[in-house]
Amino acid sequence: MAKVRAALGISADGFGAGPEQSLNDPLGKRGRELHDWQFGTRTFQTMIGREGGSEGMDNDFCARSMRGFGAFIMGRNMFGPIRGDWPAEAWDGWWGPNPPYHAPVFVLTHHPRQTLVMEGGNSFRFVSGSIGDVLEQAKAAAGDLDVKIAGGMSTVRQYLRAGLIDELHFAISPMFLGRGESLLEGFDLPALGFSVTEKALTDTAMHVVLTKG
């Protein structure tokens, strides 16, 4: 049965993004450090069109974080730094002409925009319905494959609060941000039905997978 999954890098003090997102800091100040565990992996190097990269547990989790999905959902803040109405020459994402999703991506926004079709089977659909309605659209597009709640933190928190996520993968980096966007503040994951079903420790991250029973 298809699942709704999320995979997130977080700091040891629970932040999933740094403060002050900008063109120079798309993940906020120091937010890039949350993903150091995956940048050197073979999977990530392949995603950005390069050869080489490390094998091992980090690479396995990186591959799993992008495999088996037929659709993605993200918030507008993750898609880009522009707020309000879209400009005449609209922003088309952080990822260049061939983003790493290779499937329909549903972008939550209050401002309509035509679907953006890009290379590699990528299409960004800008939708303004409820998170439940958008999830149903994503499930229909995904078919038998899973749907990934890709981020950012506010979007993941909304779906988590609504009880719509089946599996969480946290890659917990051994660093402290001190401030930024908290992921789990106010959530009781065991009360929501989640339990740890997998864990692994590498030199760069502690991987924890939680599944809803």
**CATH number of the domain that residue 152 is part of:** 3.40.430.10
Does residue 93 sit within a domain? no
What's the pLDDT at 33?
A: 95
> In the prediction, which pLDDT does 38 show?
95
**Amino acid, res. 101:** Y
Structural domain includes residue 194: yes
Return the sign of the alpha-carbon dihedral for residues 23, 24, 27, 28: negative
CA distance linking residue 199 with residue 142, whole number of Å: 28
d(CA 24, CA 181): 17
Helices 131-142 and 153-161 cross at an angle (nearest 10°) of 100
Mean pLDDT by 10 residues, the chain (213 residues): 94 94 88 94 89 95 95 94 83 89 96 93 95 98 98 95 98 96 95 97 97 94
Rounded to two decimals, the pTM is 0.94
Identify whether the C-beta of residue 21 lies closer than 8 Å to the C-beta of residue 81.
yes
Task: List C-alpha distances in Å: 208 to 6, 137, 153.
Answer: 12, 29, 17
pLDDT score for 132: 97
Question: What residue numbers bound the domain in which 54 lies?
Answer: 4-14+32-82+98-212
The answer to the question of residue 9 being in a domain is: yes
Residue 179 resides in a domain: yes
In a domain, 91, yes or no: no
In-domain check, residue 130: yes
What is the pairing mode between strands 123-127 and 116-117? Answer: antiparallel
| 23 inside domain | no
On whether residue 108 sits in a domain, the answer given is yes
Total domains present in the chain? 1
DSSP state letters, 85-100 = SPPSS----SS-SS-S
